[in-house]
Amino acid sequence: MVDQNDIHSAHCKVCLKTFTLGNMGEKAITSHANGIKHKQNMKSVQSSVSMDVFVDSSSGKATCSLSSDNVPPKPTLSSCGNISSNVGSNVSVASTFTSNSVANSSSSMSDSIANSSSKSTGIKAMLQRDEVTRAEILWCLHLVRNHTSQRSGEEAVELFPKMFHDSEIAKKMKLHRTKIGYMITYGLAPHFFQELNDLCAQCDYIVIGFDESLNKVAQSAQMDIFVRFWDASKQKVITRYYNSTFLGHTTASDLLKSFEYGTKDLNLRKLLQVSSDSPRVNLKFLEDLQSKFLDEDVDRPILLNLGTCGLHHVHNAYKKAMKKTNWKIMEFLRVLYYLFLHVPARREDYTKYSGSTIFPLKFCTVRWVENFSVAGRALQIIPHVRKYVEGVKKDKIEPKCNSYLIVSSVLKDKLLTSKLAFFQTIAGDVEPFLTIFQTDAPLAPLLYECMLSTLRTILTRFVKDDVLEKNCSAPLQIDLTKTENLKAVSLIDIGYSTRNELRKIENLKPIEELQLLKDLRKDCRSALLEFYHSLTNNSPLVYKLTKGISCFDPSIAINSKLRVSRLDTALDIFVETKWLSGRQADLVKNNLREVWKRPFFDEKMKNFSIHNPEHRLDDLWFDVIPNESGDSFAPLIHFLKMVLILSNGNAFVERGFNINKETLIENLKNESLVGQRRVYDALQYNGKKVHDFTVNKSLIHAARNSHDLYDQALKREKAEEDKNVQKKTQKRQTSEKLKEIERKKKKVLEDARQKVEELDTEMKKLRR
């Protein structure tokens, strides 16, 4: 910068130094330029970054911005490399740059300009590459979220450049079918799986659940595994899909091996409970798993046991009760649906003869929440079905299929509608429970009272009122083998719908009607008894822990006597199984006493509704526990988290089977299916639509590394295939050698036999 007030001085913008020209004139500038300090400063300037990189010189606006993840910007030439002077008319600025040293400096700065331009282009390319990868990731997430095939995804990407012709990102997206597959399986899925493992590593306890289902593509049994834990980031109980394993035989030992393989990345020392459905093989598996844990570590805490899935128990109890009647109602409902399924001719005949366009609903014996509506639809269309059967018989166009034979046979039953009404009535009694416990929200503390309420509803239909009142707090202790505890057959509550259907029966003689009604009521009582025995056989109702943790049920928590006794039961079990020490249990009880005394406690408990999906037990209890008291309530919080993560059923994994079916849109390999399930679960966990999903740097890196992992997998697969081929070759060669030896052996034996015959002949001749 020139000092306008002093014509005998010059200022170096690099060294930030002003020096005089009075004695040496031009030589002063040359001397300064050749100085060591000036040269060092010039090197620093050439390698440094100018803000000009970020600013468009024509507009003065910023052209790019860099985060800490990006490489440094490109250097550029600025005015700081010039030496300005004002030496009067006899000393020109141009003459100050005639020395060789100054010329060399100018040459170096020219090179810096070229390098800066090149680096600027490189940064833009790198940033655009990130955006392209981000777009590819979002598209893959979209395909997984909507269960779209990889081939369809590839075809859509090929359309993008034509649809968005002005987008460089659309032009550079390259997602063929194979790339989509390996990016999901070896890029996104491992990234999300590692995030899930990190979450599990941070929590103190986990609950694992599993169930098996047939994978029709792999033609093997698929064991889906879910994990349940307390998510510190969301401050609530979370259930996540974890892994799937594939097996042929499903014995207890096979399940144990698959379970260990599928959970090898988890710390099973934190395993609090294993949730499963009710087959006996699963019970044996649980026994074997517990024995294995104790063999490895005698001091290890014992797994908590609430029994098997409550949903399965209630549904199976209902199914067994209906089978006990021998009415064949479930078979009738199933074939009634299939009679008209995919057969336009029968549907046309049905409409023609009945005048109705209302058809049966689909019935499936393994689904939990559809019996009531299916039975209701059947009751509605029975008159129309009768008209259809009469019409096809009259016109001699009866179908020859088995479904029609069963339907026409069952329709002859004069009590059919009454039986359907009873079937629907009992379905109405149990389906509230089956509906409520479909959720993944923490409901284990509510399991005992809800299941007991369902059982009481059934008992009121055939057990005397005074007996129920006497045993209202312990209905499981009622002895149903004593007839004096049961209502008379004529007094059994079969429901208003059933009685209404009985009134509609016509053309019955009094004696015949009396006998039919008596038989119907006997069948109803047999069904109700069967329901009771099935539900109380090894179900969660009979486990002390199920009853104990109900102290956190809001309806029990406001009962000053019940809550204490049930809390004592729960704490005794936790101490006995080594999940709590005696001192910790005492502190938990003291903490709860303080919480029970809070002025708003009863009000909040009463406002909780199990039927409101927005009401959660974890939110409720952590709302009533004081959070301003430091660590004084830490024992209660510690215990509460263990209770809340306990599984109340296998609804999550059962829903996962439907996701599996939607995912199997093409012939996916096992690892591809697992990868898609992990990505889908991560999207569900984040609770965002794909266009709101944040793609971070680590996910971009994972996507880019997926090709290398895919290559490694192919090499392993090829090595395994070569190994198998080698085994087959060795086996074939061994087989050929054995055959050759067999031939030699056979030839030796044949030669020996001939030799023996010759010797025998010779011996005979000599004897003669």
At 193 the pLDDT is 95
Confidence of residue 407 (pLDDT cuts 50, 70, 90): very high
Do 617 and 643 form a contact (C-beta atoms < 8 A)? no
For the beta carbon of residue 438, count every other beta carbon within 10 angstroms. Answer: 16
- pLDDT tens for residues 613-630? 889 999 999 999 987 666
In a domain, 147, yes or no: no
Rounded Cα gap, residues 389 and 387, in angstroms: 6
Bigger pLDDT: 654 or 663? 654
Over residues 233-252, the mean pLDDT reads: 88
Q: Phi and psi at residue 730, in whole multiples of 5°?
A: -60, -40
Confidence of residue 104 (pLDDT cuts 50, 70, 90): very low
Confidence of residue 122 (pLDDT cuts 50, 70, 90): low
At 425 the pLDDT is 94
Confidence of residue 661 (pLDDT cuts 50, 70, 90): low
In a domain, 578, yes or no: yes
Do 529 and 480 form a contact (C-beta atoms < 8 A)? yes
Q: Which CATH number belongs to the domain containing residue 303 in this structure?
A: 3.30.420.10
Asked whether the predicted pLDDT for residue 108 surpasses 60, the reply is: no
DSSP symbol at 537: S
Using DSSP bridges, classify how beta strands 17-20 and 271-275 pair: parallel, antiparallel or unpaired: unpaired
Give the closest residue to 189 by CA, choosing from 724, 677, 744: 677
Asked whether the predicted pLDDT for residue 561 surpasses 60, the reply is: yes
Rounded Cα gap, residues 396 and 404, in angstroms: 14
Asked whether the predicted pLDDT for residue 708 surpasses 80, the reply is: yes
At which residue do the structure tokens 């004084």 appear?
632
Confidence of residue 61 (pLDDT cuts 50, 70, 90): very low
Say what percent of the chain tops pLDDT 70: 84
Rounded Cα gap, residues 196 and 180, in angstroms: 22
Whether residues 100 and 66 fall in one domain: yes
Domain boundary among 541, 571, 604: 541
Do 437 and 648 form a contact (C-beta atoms < 8 A)? yes
Residues 626, 630, 631: CA angle, nearest 5 degrees:
100
In a domain, 159, yes or no: no
At 77 the pLDDT is 32
At which residue do the structure tokens 């998510």 appear?
231
- pLDDT tens for residues 3-17? 556 667 888 888 888
Three-state DSSP state, 654: helix
Cα atoms in the Cβ-side hemisphere of radius 13 Å centred on 571: 22
Over residues 387-412, the mean pLDDT reads: 93
Per-residue exposure over 599-620, b if at least 16 CB sit within 10 Å of its own CB, e if not? eeeeebbeebebeeeeebbbeb
In a domain, 379, yes or no: yes
Using DSSP bridges, classify how beta strands 271-275 and 206-215 pair: parallel, antiparallel or unpaired: parallel
DSSP symbol at 303: P
Q: What is the mean pLDDT of the chain?
A: 83
Rounded Cα gap, residues 79 and 13, in angstroms: 8
Could you tell me the two tokens for 27?
A: 């030589």
In a domain, 513, yes or no: yes
At 297 the pLDDT is 87
Give the closest residue to 301 by CA, choosing from 580, 648, 644: 580
3-state helix, strand, coil in the chain (%, to 5): 65, 5, 30
Per DSSP, helices labelled H in 263-309 are 280-296
Asked whether the predicted pLDDT for residue 723 surpasses 50, the reply is: yes
Say what percent of the chain tops pLDDT 90: 47
At 32 the pLDDT is 85
* Helix or strand (DSSP H, E) at 314: helix 310-324
The gap from C-alpha 289 to its chain's centroid, in whole angstroms, comes to: 23
Whether residues 584 and 520 fall in one domain: no
Three-state DSSP state, 411: coil
List all residues 6 or more positions away from 29 whose beta carbon is below 8 Å from its beta carbon. 10, 21, 83, 85, 96, 102
Find the radius of gyration of the CA atoms of the chain.
Answer: 41
Whether residues 441 and 353 fall in one domain: yes
Whether residues 583 and 634 fall in one domain: yes
Rounded Cα gap, residues 380 and 375, in angstroms: 9
Do 703 and 184 form a contact (C-beta atoms < 8 A)? no
Domain boundary among 514, 541, 568: 541
Give the closest residue to 337 by CA, choosing from 401, 429, 424, 415: 401
At 86 the pLDDT is 39
Cα atoms in the Cβ-side hemisphere of radius 13 Å centred on 600: 9
| Amino acid letter, 21 | L
Whether residues 325 and 461 fall in one domain: yes
For the beta carbon of residue 636, count every other beta carbon within 10 angstroms. Answer: 21
Do 322 and 423 form a contact (C-beta atoms < 8 A)? yes
Could you tell me the two tokens for 635?
A: 């024992």
Whether residues 280 and 334 fall in one domain: no
Whether residues 252 and 350 fall in one domain: no
Do 527 and 322 form a contact (C-beta atoms < 8 A)? yes
Rounded Cα gap, residues 537 and 545, in angstroms: 16
Beta bridge partners of 214: 221
Rounded Cα gap, residues 158 and 176, in angstroms: 9
Q: Phi and psi at residue 237, in whole multiples of 5°?
A: -80, 135
Over residues 24-40, the mean pLDDT reads: 81
> Crossing angle, helix 329-339 and helix 402-410, to 10 degrees?
130
Could you tell me the two tokens for 252?
A: 């207890």
Do 173 and 136 form a contact (C-beta atoms < 8 A)? yes
In a domain, 148, yes or no: no
Q: How many domains does the chain have?
A: 4
At 658 the pLDDT is 60
- 11 CB-contact burial (10 Å; exposed 0-12 / middle 13-18 / buried 19+): middle
Whether residues 373 and 492 fall in one domain: yes
User: What's the N-to-C CA distance of the chain in angstroms?
Assistant: 143
DSSP symbol at 613: T
For the beta carbon of residue 39, count every other beta carbon within 10 angstroms. Answer: 16
- pLDDT tens for residues 731-759? 889 999 999 999 999 999 998 989 998 88
Rounded Cα gap, residues 398 and 409, in angstroms: 13
Confidence of residue 58 (pLDDT cuts 50, 70, 90): very low
Bigger pLDDT: 165 or 49? 165
Q: Which of 72-81, 85-94, 505-514, 744-753 has the highest mean pLDDT?
A: 744-753
At 508 the pLDDT is 65
Whether residues 491 and 593 fall in one domain: no
Three-state DSSP state, 632: coil
At 81 the pLDDT is 39
Signed CA dihedral, 745, 750, 754, 756: sign only = positive
Three-state DSSP state, 364: coil
DSSP symbol at 79: G
- pLDDT tens for residues 427-471? 999 988 988 888 888 999 999 999 999 999 999 999 998 888 888
Confidence of residue 96 (pLDDT cuts 50, 70, 90): very low
Whether residues 362 and 455 fall in one domain: yes
Whether residues 491 and 350 fall in one domain: yes
Measured CA to CA in angstroms, residue 540 lies from 169, 439, 549 at distances of 56, 17, 12
At 45 the pLDDT is 73
Provide the domain limits for residue 263.
203-309+653-681
Rounded Cα gap, residues 482 and 486, in angstroms: 7
Range in 43-57, 284-298, 479-493 with the lowest mean pLDDT: 43-57
Bigger pLDDT: 83 or 160? 160
Domain boundary among 520, 541, 562: 541
In a domain, 59, yes or no: yes
At 472 the pLDDT is 77
- pLDDT tens for residues 169-217? 999 999 999 999 999 999 999 999 999 999 999 999 999 998 877 666 6
Range in 150-164, 401-415, 641-655 with the lowest mean pLDDT: 641-655
At 53 the pLDDT is 46
Over residues 409-430, the mean pLDDT reads: 92
In a domain, 30, yes or no: yes
Whether residues 629 and 497 fall in one domain: no
Give the closest residue to 649 by CA, choosing from 196, 275, 225: 275
DSSP symbol at 533: H
Asked whether the predicted pLDDT for residue 583 surpasses 90, the reply is: yes
